[in-house]
Chain A
């Protein structure tokens, strides 16, 4: 291989490999600490819940609970969007609070250049390695006059192109396979998380395809551009445009097309819908009055005090259910906007295989947009559950007008089950990234066709 002859390239490869090792060490140690911290915080929140003094169920509900996002084993490989979204939330009655404490809020601005992780190495650095290994493979043979020698041995130009692509690709495969195996074992050892073998294998497959794409791009450019310097410049420009420029442009275009509301406007609309009703003509007090009248009619009594349950608990729960309906509608709009943005970005993978592999990698590592939204939904489901339990206790066990005197029984706190956030496997994530899967395959096929077509040409004459 040509790269063995150039000491600059040898040093560059060694430096990049070292960078890969540092990325691995950094991410594994970070995720291990994070896992322990979040587990301790979740346990502390639970302890505080269980040990709170005996109080009115609604007060207890307002004491609230916390949900912390549990790191996933493959976050050691690709933390994805998990660093840009809130990691914990305070759960209490009446409102869905904001998910706060994203990693990006706690980092310096350097994180915007890319957070050091094995995924960053595989997405940005491996293509660079491939460029260094391939930019002078074909034109270098021509320059030294060894290409005609090879052809005179009876090898076709196409065979030479494929053999060189295979050689570069195999070097990448050795690195990638070893790197992934080490990551999985390191995650097992230090993060003590369950291994998702299928997700790890899937990651291996998509990065292999990605590497194959770059190998084919490198060999194609090297065989098309005679001047070695120019071929290197072109490859570096392709790399910069596809990994740095296009992703940013795609994000901006997507946001310009499907803007996300500000929190102020988002919350204002929710508050108005709860207060005035979803149709704007069914105020909170009117809804309460209607419920009261219907209960009085149903139980054939003339006052709410005579109802067989505490009306205050009942109306509290009805109000929760209505606000939940409003929250669901508005959150769905927000998630839809984000989903549309993601789709727009995904189609930009037509211009850059990096975008496809980035989204696929995040999906496999349970760090995609859908995984983050799912965490928020699971937390919200838990919030609604424990608030409902508290309201039911108030409704069934307390008398009307005993807000300041009624107290929960001690075992009621432990009757609320502990929060369990589930991380989903690969099969859950895959349907969300069909476009990216198709486009990565398309890139591979198109480049394969290009390479075959180039085999016909005899530019070396």
Chain B
């Protein structure tokens, strides 16, 4: 019996055979170029978001600084008096005070656009009802692009790299059988299992090398262009991508172990891709829609502006301010009264605050349900690896429903801090002071890097799937050997 050839030597041999065919190299170059294109698309998207945020933030900051300069105005002049009036009167200051809130894309957003194009990433916040503002502002989501889908690195990993793996691996054994080379290979003491394993190993090295090059390019773009150092979410993205690709490699290892003829192998490979990348995601989304219905018709009418004669009624005003005191004890002893100049204005805002409070349950329910849908998809890694991984990637990039929900939650807190700055002057019937403006909330300009917990579950599921597929394939290989 011949001495078995070392696995490393076998891989080198496979590489020589691979490199000999120019079409293989062309294929690799083509896939790499598409990957670079995906990285560029992620870069362009992120760049546009960051440029918009900077312009928006700076404009609003300038407006506030201009307003606050009114405190130093020379009140002996008409202009000075006007500027002072603007900044000290709650009514006028409110008109000129719009605070920017935004979500800076994190490092991983370069690789995964996710749902980032349909969720607004900046809002203009005013003192009035938060929900009235929230359900009136959106972003111009390009429907034609949304329909076709993104061509980002996430798409490249989830859809295209498996395709490369299928094309390079679906007929490792059957092609040698068809070409009549198998007897020659076998006569060198190479078993079918080692032949397939070495080929799959080579393809794994090639695919993961492409992934690494793109990943490192992305890290450099983040660091040098966006000034963002690598984060843990990037590493998890890479780990997820490697495991996802390993699932595909294991599946192809199994298909080869089944020793099907070339057409059946191609059929299995092709259908597996269609099942994983088209059918299962569509079915899972359908199931999540059925299990978790989302109705927007109630929240969609929260943007209606509450105006009318009731705000002219003193009794209604007094009652409303008292109700606000019950909701927010700090205004329990509010001194604003019908005799105060800003009474109607205070009543109007008290009413908005109460309105938000009464609407908050419905809004929370609405966003929770959307988030649950995403969580269900993310948890479906076992049957729906592509969509689950895509959801996880979007989660790591903070471009998913959960991140949007979190952003809205942070905005609500921001809005409350805005109230804390302006409401004392409004409800205790005094002019605005410099110290009130110092209390105005400022958003930290750091990108959120929260890690979705489901990624660890999915990575574990992928590891289990890989082990099962490889063991199954090994059983098939050994079964063939025995028979």
**A interface residues (Cβ-Cβ under 8 A, vs B):** 6, 8-9, 12, 19, 22-23, 26, 30, 33, 37-38, 40-41, 44-45, 48, 52-55, 59, 62-64, 66, 68, 80-81, 84-88, 90, 92, 97-102, 104-116, 120, 124, 128, 132, 135-136, 227-230, 232-233, 236-237, 240, 244-245, 247-252, 254-256, 260-266, 268, 334, 338, 341-342, 345, 369, 372, 404, 407
Contacts and interface: CB of A to CB of B under 8 A. Distances in A.
Interface string B16-48: 000000000000000000100100010010001
A285 to B, nearest CB: 15
B273 A110 contact: no
B445 to A, nearest CB: 16
Contacts of A112: 115, 146, 149-150, 390
Q: Is the interface of A mostly helix, strand, loop or mixed?
A: helix
A100 B139 CA distance: 9
A105 B118 contact: yes
Interface stretch (B202-210, B238-246, B264-272, B414-422): B264-272
B424 to A, nearest CB: 27
B434 interface: no
Given A12-B271, A250-B148, A252-B145, A110 B284 contact: yes
B197 to A, nearest CB: 21
Interface in B243-263: 261-263
A263 B282 contact: no
B308 A90 contact: no
Nearest to B277: A113
B285 to A, nearest CB: 4
B399 to A, nearest CB: 8
Contact of B148 (A6, A247, A260, A338): A247
B300 interface: yes
B155 A248 contact: yes
B374 A66 contact: no
A66 B304 CA distance: 9
A264 B136 contact: no
A106 B263 CA distance: 41
A240 B273 contact: yes
A266 B143 CA distance: 17
A53 B310 contact: yes
A202 to B, nearest CB: 20
A21 to B, nearest CB: 12
B262 A251 contact: no
A86 B150 CA distance: 19
B370 interface: yes
Contact of A108 (B122, B151, B312, B391): B391
B136 A98 contact: yes
B137 interface: yes
A86 B358 CA distance: 25
A53 B309 contact: yes
A334 to B, nearest CB: 7
Contacts of B267: 8-9, 12, 132, 232
B304 A98 contact: no
B323 interface: no
B301 A55 contact: no
A240 B297 contact: no
Contacts of B145: 251-252, 254-255, 341
A64 B213 CA distance: 54
A100 B146 contact: no
B295 interface: yes
B296 interface: yes
Contacts of A232: 263, 266-267, 270
Q: Which of A45, A105, A128, A232 has the most chain B CB within a 10 Å cutoff?
A: A105
A63 B305 contact: yes
Query: By CB atoms of chain A within 10 A, which of B59, B147, B301 has the most?
Result: B147
A203 B67 CA distance: 60
Chain B interface secondary structure, helix, strand, loop or mixed? helix
B303 interface: yes
Given A12-B271, A107-B285, A252-B151, A124 B309 contact: no
B136 A90 contact: yes
B77 interface: no
B390 A102 contact: no
Nearest to A232: B266
A62 to B, nearest CB: 5
B52 A265 contact: yes
B387 interface: yes
B150 A116 contact: no
B386 interface: yes
B144 A342 contact: yes
Contact of A244 (B119, B159, B262, B308): B159
A106 B278 contact: no
Contact of B48 (A90, A116, A120, A262): A262
B26 to A, nearest CB: 14
B196 interface: no
Contacts of A48: 301, 304
A100 B307 contact: no
Nearest to A30: B289
B461 interface: no
Nearest to A240: B163
A97 B384 CA distance: 38
B305 to A, nearest CB: 5
B481 interface: no
Given A110-B282, A110-B390, A262-B48, 4 more contacts: A59-B307, A66-B301, A108-B285, A108-B378
A106 B52 contact: no
A24 to B, nearest CB: 11
Contacts of A266: 140
Contacts of A64: 304-305
Contacts of A40: 297
Contacts of B115: 104-105, 109, 112
B283 A22 contact: yes
A112 B350 CA distance: 42
26 contacts: A19-B279, A53-B310, A64-B304, A64-B305, A84-B118, A90-B300, A101-B300, A102-B141, A105-B115, A106-B294, A107-B370, A113-B278, A113-B282, A114-B278, A135-B263, A232-B266, A232-B270, A236-B273, A237-B167, A252-B148, A262-B48, A263-B140, A341-B145, A345-B148, A372-B143, A404-B312
